[in-house]
Chain A
Amino acid sequence: QSVLTQPPSASETPGQRVTISCSGSSSNIGSNYIYWYQHLPGTAPKLLIYRNDRRPSGVPDRFSGSKSGTSASLAISGLRSDDEADYYCAAWDDSLSGVVFGGGTKLTVL
Chain B
Amino acid sequence: EVQLLESGGGLVQPGGSQRLSCTGSAFTFSNYAMNWVRQAPGKGLEWISGIRDSGVNTYYADSVKGRFTVSRDNSKNTLYLQMNSLRAEDTAVYYCAKGTFGYSYGYVEFDFWGQGTLVTVSS
Q: Give, as a whole number of angstroms, the nearest-CB distance from B33 to chain A.
A: 11
Give 1 or 0 for each of A54-96: 1 = CB within 8 Å of chain B CB.
Answer: 0010000000000000000000000000000010101110001
Q: Report A-chain residues with C-beta under 8 Å of the C-beta of B35.
A: 99
Contact of A37 among B45, B61, B100, B114 (CB under 8 A): B45
Q: Report B-chain residues with C-beta under 8 Å of the C-beta of A32.
A: 108
Q: Are A33 and B44 in contact (CB under 8 A)?
A: no
Q: What is the bound-complex CA distance between A44 and B113, given in angstroms?
A: 6
Q: Are A92 and B45 in contact (CB under 8 A)?
A: no
Q: Are A44 and B45 in contact (CB under 8 A)?
A: no
Q: Are A50 and B47 in contact (CB under 8 A)?
A: no
**CB of A17 within 8 Å of the partner chain:** no
Q: Are A44 and B95 in contact (CB under 8 A)?
A: yes
Contact of A99 among B100, B108, B111 (CB under 8 A): B108
Most buried by A among B35, B61, B108, B115: B108
Tell me the A89-110 residues at the B interface (CB within 8 Å). 90-92, 96-104
Contact of B45 among A45, A50, A98 (CB under 8 A): A45
Q: What is the bound-complex CA distance between A72 and B4, given in angstroms?
A: 30
Q: Which residue of A lies closest to B115 (CB)?
A: A44
Tell me the B97-123 residues at the A interface (CB within 8 Å). 97, 100, 105, 107-116
Q: Are B60 and A56 in contact (CB under 8 A)?
A: no
**CB of B1 within 8 Å of the partner chain:** no
Assuming A100-B47, A101-B46, is B109 touching A47 (CB within 8 A)? yes
Contact of A47 among B50, B60, B111 (CB under 8 A): B111
Q: Are B44 and A102 in contact (CB under 8 A)?
A: yes
Contact of B110 among A47, A86, A92, A98 (CB under 8 A): A47
Q: Report B-chain residues with C-beta under 8 Å of the C-beta of A46.
A: 113
Which residues of A line the B interface, CB within 8 A?
2, 32-33, 35, 37, 39, 43-47, 50-51, 56, 86, 88, 90-92, 96-104
